[in-house]
C-alpha cells in the first residue's frame, strides 16, 4: 500500500501594514493594508495574514515563527535621518514606528531565511537597511526624470538586466509597469545590485540579499497581467519550499 504524503498546505504570507490617517473621521494612527496585496497573494496560492506594528523585537520574532514569507508593502517616505540626511520640503514622512518595525522584521526574516518580497517603499527600506541612500524627490533631483506616479495605469517601461534573478522570474527584459513613487535609490547599499531601470535611469528593482526580491513598481495593481503575476507565483514557490523545510526542521 502506497504511503500517503503529508499535506503541506498553503504557505502563510505575512503582509505588513501602513499607519496614517485615512479619512476625516479616522484617527491619525489607523492601521490598514491595501487589499490588492492580499488579493495578489491569494491568487498566487498563498494564505495571507496581516502583521501589525510591534516595537518589541522578541514579539516580532514570534510573529515570524508563524509565517513562511513576508511582503513589505508600499507606504509613505522613510525619514531621511535613517540614511543620514536632513528632510527636504518634498518628503512625506511616515510614522517612524513602522520604519523601525519593518527594519526589525526584515533583519529577523533574513536571520530565519524567510523569503521576502519588498515592494515600492519596501525596496527603498531594503536599500537603507544596507547603508544606501535615496533621492528624496525624483523630480527635484533628476531633471530628465520621467513620470513615476500614477494610481490608474501602467505608466512607463522598465529594462531588466539579462541574466539577473528578476530576468529568470519574468523571462523577458522589458515590462510596462504601474509606478507610484516620487523617491528612488540614489546610492545602493552594501551588496545591493540594481537589476532593472526605468528609461530615465531610475532604479526599479534590486537584488543581492539572500531570499529577497525587491521591485519599485506595484505588481499587485496589475492582477490581470499574467507576466506581473509571475513575481507573486515565484515568491509563493519560495515560501512553499520554506514551509516544507520548516516541517522537516521541526520533525
Residue showing cell 544606501:
132
Q: At what angle do helices 226-250 and 35-44 cross, to 10 degrees?
A: 70
- Give catalytic status of residue 33 as yes or no: no
- Give catalytic status of residue 220 as yes or no: yes
- Which residues lie across from 117 on neighbouring strands? 71, 213
User: What is the longest distance spanned by two Cα atoms in the chain?
Assistant: 71
Spacing of C-alpha 184 from chain mean position:
14
Which whole-number Å values give the CA distances from 226 to 12, 17, 157, in the listed order? 22, 26, 16
Which whole-number Å values give the CA distances from 101 to 39, 55, 117, in the listed order? 24, 6, 16
Domains and CATH numbers, the chain: 12-250 (3.40.50.880)
Question: Among residues 17, 18, 20, 120, which one is catalytic?
Answer: 120
Cα–Cα distance between 215 and 203 in angstroms, integer? 9
Task: Tell me, yes or no, if the pTM score tops 0.85.
Answer: yes
Question: Among residues 178, 181, 220, 234, which one is catalytic?
Answer: 220
- Give catalytic status of residue 148 as yes or no: no
CB atoms within 10 A of CB 146: 16
Question: Among residues 148, 181, 218, 234, which one is catalytic?
Answer: 218
Q: Tell me the pLDDT of the chain (251 aa) as tens digits.
A: 444 445 578 999 999 998 876 666 656 677 889 999 999 999 999 999 999 999 999 999 999 999 999 999 999 899 999 999 888 777 877 789 999 999 999 999 999 999 999 999 999 999 999 999 998 887 775 655 566 566 666 578 999 999 999 999 999 999 999 888 888 999 999 999 999 999 888 999 999 889 999 999 999 999 899 999 999 999 999 999 999 987 555 55
Amino acid at each position: 500500500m502506497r504511503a500517503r504524503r503529508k499535506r503541506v498546505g498553503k504557505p502563510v504570507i505575512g503582509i505588513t501594514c501602513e499607519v496614517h490617517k485615512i479619512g476625516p473621521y479616522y484617527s491619525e494612527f489607523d492601521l490598514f493594508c491595501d487589499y490588492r496585496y492580499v488579493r495578489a497573494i491569494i491568487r498566487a496560492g498563498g494564505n495571507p495574514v496581516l502583521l501589525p506594528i510591534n516595537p518589541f523585537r522578541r514579539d516580532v520574532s514570534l510573529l515570524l515563527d508563524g509565517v513562511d514569507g513576508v511582503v513589505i508593502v508600499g507606504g509613505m517616505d522613510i525619514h531621511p535621518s535613517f540614511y543620514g540626511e536632513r528632510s527636504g520640503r518634498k518628503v512625506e514622512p511616515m510614522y517612524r514606528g513602522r520604519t523601525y518595525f519593518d527594519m526589525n522584521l526584515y533583519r529577523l526574516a533574513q536571520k530565519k531565511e524567510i523569503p521576502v518580497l519588498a515592494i515600492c517603499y519596501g525596496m527603498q527600506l531594503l536599500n537603507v537597511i544596507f547603508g544606501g541612500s535615496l533621492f528624496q524627490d525624483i523630480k527635484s533631483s533628476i531633471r530628465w526624470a520621467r513620470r513615476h506616479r500614477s494610481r490608474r495605469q501602467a505608466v512607463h517601461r522598465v529594462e531588466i538586466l539579462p541574466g539577473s534573478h528578476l530576468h529568470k522570474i519574468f523571462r523577458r527584459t522589458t515590462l510596462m509597469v504601474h509606478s507610484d513613487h516620487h523617491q528612488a535609490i540614489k546610492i545602493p547599499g552594501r551588496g545591493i545590485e540594481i537589476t532593472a531601470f526605468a528609461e530615465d535611469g531610475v532604479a526599479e528593482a534590486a537584488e543581492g540579499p539572500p531570499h529577497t526580491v525587491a521591485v519599485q513598481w506595484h505588481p499587485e495593481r496589475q492582477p490581470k497581467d499574467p507576466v506581473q503575476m509571475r513575481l507573486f507565483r515565484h515568491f509563493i514557490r519560495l515560501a512553499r519550499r520554506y514551509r516544507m523545510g520548516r516541517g522537516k526542521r521541526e520533525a
